[in-house]
Structure 1
Amino acid sequence: MTTPLPEHMTASVLTEPKTIELRNVPVPALGRNQVLVKVESVGVCGSDTHFYETGSIGDIVVEGPVVLGHESSGIIVAGGEDVASSRIGTRVSVEPQTVCRRCEYCKRGSYHLCRAVEFYGAWPVDGSFAEYEVIDDDFAHEIPEEMSFDQAAMAEPVSVAVHAVRKARVTQGARVLITGAGPIGVLNAQVARAYGASEIVISDPVENRRDFAEAHGATRAVDPTQTDFAQFEEHFDCYIDASGNARAIDSAIPTIRPGGIAVLVGMGGNRLELPIALMQHREITLTGTFRYVNTWPDAIALIASGKVDVDSLITGRYGLGDVEEALLKAKTDPLAIKTMVIPGQGDTARA
């Protein structure tokens, strides 16, 4: 006998900047090719915190109530008309976006650049800080039985790193510089190593972050306030910024060898001064990243194999009633790295 699905669910709703309310809301309706996922774990991202504090990121402005969160995993409990019944009960990691599948970007495989993309947790699209969410069936990626839901939720930030490392063209023996040793910087270091990098230097002014990075992927961690980057002149094959800090980027560009690549992942200001003559003379390629595309299978495989360790990044878990505390944990606790929200958990935090 099939268990009837609830019509309503609990969700943590951002109603205005710095205000989140626990609300009883309708369970989202299924499309023909969509599945309903019972959310088991959600990672807190810096973008969630930014939306919470300011009500906007770039040109995305929160104009009404919205459920934040986009790093999620769970169990498929229902499917639309065109979804195979065998999918019910599947444990999945959710790729949190829907796209049109018809435009030139979607058709050439760059669906992340689709102009009609709806990204979860970015107004007006509700995200994952809730008991249930819907997603296109093929964006609900099956995970191995031995993979935990926390690990599966971390496939999203690992995908950010996979996309960046691919853009940086990291190959066997590559020398990589990374600025910013937060969760994304550390994951970039781990993914770069998995892709064959032999030297991975990470820069961050916070000592405990440098120590963590050296223990989890980096071959060396340096303090930018105490380091003369002239020693690295033309040394690195590629550079990945995970800080968004203009001074860090400016210091890093001269360390890139002729023909090298700079990849900007961190979100900083709207404008950036760069040493254009140097970049032209060395033919340095500069590119940004916009989320990810076709990364989930690799991200899941890297986590499942142990080549990327996500468990050590998780430093706290909170229930839906404590989402506000979870959003600010990285700012209130200098030792916090990655915080998870567990919809099925009570409102008492646990490590």
Structure 2
Amino acid sequence: MIHSDISEARLEVAKKLGADMIFKPSRNEDPKQAGLELRTALGEEADLCVECSGAKGTVDASIHACRPGGKVMMVGFGDMAMYAHIGMAAVREIDILGAFANVNNYPECINLVASGKVDVKSAISHRLPLEQVKDGMELIRRGESTKVVIDCS
């Protein structure tokens, strides 16, 4: 598994959590070139790209990084209306999958965390009291965090 991110901090967390490879792409605005960068870093075309940021152009870059017949799963959402080369996905027979609330996955997720197979605590970069929720949102907006937990007690 390769984790691609523009944030050094998030790349380090991914490495700590077991990513086989981490990759910091250039800020290439051409999705076709961005997809080529990902394929080059991986050494081959991807079977599955899980796009978690929702940033402009990332779904399109994922389409270009996938092998023909591969899959792109959209997990992150910026704007609900996204621009992507759906025609390119169709020509390359790439399935576009959506995942938002992970319906019916909660019991499995809870078991994985409870058993210690998945370490979620390492992904938390900040813990803030409820009064600092705006500060937490600002950390996220500036890309200076991985996961921010707001303590509501």
TM-score class normalised by the smaller sequence: 0.7 to 0.9
Unpaired segments ≥5 residues, structure 2? 28-33
After superposition, what is the alpha-carbon deviation per residue over 1:168-193, rounded to whole angstroms, capped at 9, x for unaligned? xxxxxxxxxxxxxxxxxxxxxxxxxx
| TM-score of the two chains, using structure 2 as the length reference | 0.78
Q: Is residue 218 of structure 1 aligned with residue 28 of structure 2?
A: no
CA contact (8 A) 1:313 1:337 kept: yes
Q: Secondary structure at the match of 1:237?
A: strand
2:3 maps to 1:202: yes
Counterpart in the other structure of 2:133: 323
Tell me the equivalent position of 2:105: 295
* Pair 1:271–1:306, CA change in 2 (3 A): same
The residue type paired with residue 229 of structure 1 is: L
Question: Cα gap change, 1:241/1:214 in structure 2, threshold over 3 Å: closer, same or farther?
Answer: same
Q: Matches of 1:213 and 1:236 in 2, distance apart?
A: 18
**SS across alignment from 1:300:** helix
Once the two structures are superposed, residues 240-268 of structure 1 have per-residue CA deviations (whole angstroms, 9 ceiling, x without a partner) of: 10011232322221221222111111113
For 2:8, the aligned partner's letter is E
SS of equivalent to 2:57: helix
- 2:84 equivalent to 1:273: yes
SS at match of 1:315: strand
Contact kept in structure 1, 2:59 and 2:84, CA below 8 Å: no
Count residues with an aligned counterpart.
143
Given that 1:233 and 1:256 are in contact with CA atoms closer than 8 Å, whether structure 2 keeps it comes out as no
Among residues 340, 343, 346, which one is paired with 2:149 in the alignment?
A: 340
CA distance in 1, matches of 2:43, 2:91: 14
Q: Answer whether contact 2:123 2:147 (CA < 8 A) is retained.
A: yes
Is this contact kept in 2: 1:244–1:268, CA < 8 A? yes
Q: How does 1:12-91 map to 2 (within 5 A)?
A: none
Q: Deviations over 1:26-75 (max 9, x none)?
A: xxxxxxxxxxxxxxxxxxxxxxxxxxxxxxxxxxxxxxxxxxxxxxxxxx
Q: 1:306 to 1:272 in 2, by over 3 A?
A: same
Amino acid at match of 1:212: V
**Where does 1:130-141 land on structure 2 (aligned, <5 Å)?**
none
Q: CA deviation at 1:309?
A: 0.6
Which of the numbers 250, 253, 256 marks the counterpart of 2:63? 253
Pick the structure with more helix per residue.
2
Aligned-pair identity (%): 31
Asked if the contact 1:233–1:254 (Cα under 8 Å) also holds between the matched residues in 2, the reply is: no
Contact (CA 8 Å) 1:259, 1:283: kept in 2 or not?
Answer: yes
Letter of the structure 2 residue corresponding to residue 274 of structure 1: H
SS of 1:246's equivalent? coil
Spell out the pairing of 1:159-170 with structure 2 (5 A cutoff): none
Shift of 1:303: 0.4
Residue 55 of structure 2 aligns with an amino acid whose one-letter code is N
C-alpha change, 1:284 and 1:272, in structure 2 (3 Å) is same
Q: C-alpha displacement at 1:272, in angstroms?
A: 0.9
2: distance between equivalents of 1:258 and 1:291? 27
Q: Note if contact 2:39-2:45 (Cα within 8 Å) is conserved in structure 1.
A: no
Structure (1/2) with the larger strand percentage = 1
Mapped to 2, the partners of 1:279 and 1:332 lie a distance apart of 32
